[in-house]
């Protein structure tokens, strides 16, 4: 799924619309955004009474993908000075995943709006797209935990190299 497994970068396409009708289609990243890929694992604890991955696990995967992307692009000093607080998760479920399925998350960020970034995540399994999610994250100062406008230098690492 990745063009460059060591960096997590893959090729990109247009950004998703935010209207409910458009969200029914698969999200596609804009050409000016890096797509980061993270392999995911399904454990027995992730399986619910319906014998598939529980919806709460998908929320965890959205957060794990975003955190891994952030950690891969910024050093410890930046990560200590700044943090992200999620203010909204939205997930569209397409097909179930079960124990033993190979799974990966592909994620990218949208355009910054003040202190806020939308992050898009595709969860892909053996039969293609299983779920897609959009999370809204607010940048906060690591000491005061107060929102802060996203600086330009923080956007550039999320662009293709």
Q: What is the pLDDT of residues 53-77, one digit of tens each?
A: 999 999 999 999 999 999 999 999 9
Query: pLDDT tens-digit profile of 101-135?
Result: 999 999 999 999 999 999 999 999 999 999 999 99
pLDDT for residue 25: 83
In whole angstroms, give the CA distance from residue 147 to residue 145.
7
Structural domains in the chain, CATH included, are: 9-158 (3.10.129.10)
pTM for the full predicted model: 0.83
Q: Does 10 have pLDDT greater than 80?
A: no
- The DSSP line for the chain is --SBTTTTEE---PPPP-SHHHHTSPP---TTS-EEEEEE---GGGB-TTSSB-HHHHHHHHHHHHHHHHHHHS-HHHHHHEEEEEEEEEEEE-S---TT--EEEEEEE---BTTEEEEEEEEEETTEEEEEEEEEEEEEETTT--B-PPPHHHHGGGS--
Q: Does 5 have pLDDT greater than 90?
A: no
Query: pLDDT tens-digit profile of 73-90?
Result: 999 999 999 999 999 999
Q: Which residues contact 50 (CB under 8 A, 6 or more apart)?
A: 96
HEC per residue, 31-75? CCCCEEEEEECCCHHHECCCCCECHHHHHHHHHHHHHHHHHHHCC
pLDDT top residue among 14 and 83: 83
Place of tokens 């956007």: 155
Q: How confident is the model at residue 44 (pLDDT cuts 50, 70, 90)?
A: very high
Mean pLDDT of the chain: 88
Q: How confident is the model at residue 24 (pLDDT cuts 50, 70, 90)?
A: low
CA 41 from chain centre, in angstroms, equals: 16
In whole angstroms, give the CA distance from residue 58 to residue 35.
18
């Amino acid at each position: 799924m990745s063009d460059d497994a060591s960096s997590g970068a893959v090729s990109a396409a247009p950004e998703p619309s935010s209207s409910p009708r458009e969200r029914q289609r698969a999200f596609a990243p804009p050409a000016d955004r890096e797509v980061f890929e993270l392999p995911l694992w399904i454990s027995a604890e992730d399986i619910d009474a319906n014998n598939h991955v529980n919806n709460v696990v998908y929320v965890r995967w959205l957060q794990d993908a975003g955190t891994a992307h952030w950690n891969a692009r910024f050093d410890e000093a930046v990560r200590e000075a700044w943090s992200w607080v999620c203010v909204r998760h939205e997930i569209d479920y397409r097909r179930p995943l079960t124990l033993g399925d190979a799974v990966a998350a592909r994620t990218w960020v949208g355009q910054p709006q003040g202190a806020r970034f939308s992050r898009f995540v595709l969860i892909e399994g053996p039969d293609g797209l299983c779920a897609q999610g959009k999370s809204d994250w607010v940048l906060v100062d690591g000491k005061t935990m107060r929102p802060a406008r996203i600086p330009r230098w923080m956007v550039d690492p999320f662009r293709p190299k």
